[in-house]
Amino acid sequence: MKIQALLPMKDHSERLPSKNIRPFAGQPLFFHVLKTLLQSPYVNTVTVNTDSRSIAALAGRFSRVRIICRPEALCGDLVSMNDIIAHDLDCVPGEHFLQTHSTNPLLAVETLNRAIEEYFSALAGYDSLFSVTRLQTRLYSDSGPLNHDPTKLERTQDLPPVFEENSNIYLFSRDSFNTTGRRIGARPKMFPMSRLEAMDIDEQDDFILAEALYKMKVAPSSRNQPHISPDTLFAGKVSQTFPGIRFNESPHYGVAP
């Protein structure tokens, strides 16, 4: 019951510059989900597909991590993630895959393991699994209410739930992806997650809130682990922690010549 994990990361971020390597609770943001993946007994290797030499250099310091240099044709903000996954599958052996994002630092290894177990247990009836957040609230579109009658004002707990794709976990087989061209197959199973654990970082407010939650829930249990302070990173002293890596003022990491 082994899988290959895919962790794609690009250098540029429109809404939050350098977010993949921005200091989060003392370490580059992507370290957190990468360590979670490597803690799972079901994960064979983690493939990091990136166009950033800085991310490649930092990720390459972990064992069981494969680096794929993203081809120019797949670089940019408008490239579909399914196209990047298709390229990964051309380069990575294996039959079953998990894809997640560096912007999910609160994802717990216990949740990850449970999702993988549920995926394999459900293969007789489903071809893929993706994580969702349950919403049971009054929703509207430009054309009006979506899931309720405003004239009745039903209690929100009595409304039929809807589910938001939260971008934390995608599990699929090579066969499913080759058939559909998508990480969410033709017969997907939804995997509900806690709203707080599923928090995805897109903007500055997300980053601030996620880091505060991380420090409250996760950091107290790992106080003995090495800590990389944001001051160290932004003071240009990152080479003391990561030899061979130079920190530029942009702020971006750069690989020392």
pLDDT digits (tens, 9 = 90+) for 210-250: 999 999 876 555 555 544 444 443 333 333 333 443 333 33
pLDDT tens digits, one per residue of 5-53? 999 998 877 778 889 999 999 999 999 999 999 999 999 999 999 999 9
H or E stretch covering 174:
helix 174-180
Confidence at residue 72, expressed as pLDDT on a 0 to 100 scale:
86
Q: What is the pTM of this model?
A: 0.81
pLDDT tens track for 153-191: 888 888 888 899 999 999 999 999 999 999 999 999 999
88 CB neighbour count, 10 Å cutoff: 23
**Radius of gyration of the CA atoms of the chain, in A:** 19
**Distant-in-sequence contacts of 136-144, Cβ < 8 A, 24+ apart:** 136/161, 136/162
Q: Distance between CA atoms of 217 and 181, rounded to whole angstroms?
A: 37
How large a percentage of the chain has pLDDT more than 70? 84
Interhelix angle 109-121/29-39, nearest 10 degrees: 50
Domain spanning 3-132+166-255, CATH class:
alpha beta
Asked whether the predicted pLDDT for residue 56 surpasses 90, the reply is yes
CA distance 76 to 4: 25
**pLDDT, position 11:** 85
Give me the amino acid identity at 32. H
The closest of 69, 75, 65 to 50, measured between CA atoms, is 69
CA 59, 61, 65: angle at the middle one, nearest 5? 60
Q: Give residue 114's pLDDT.
A: 98
CB 171 within 8 A of CB 114: no
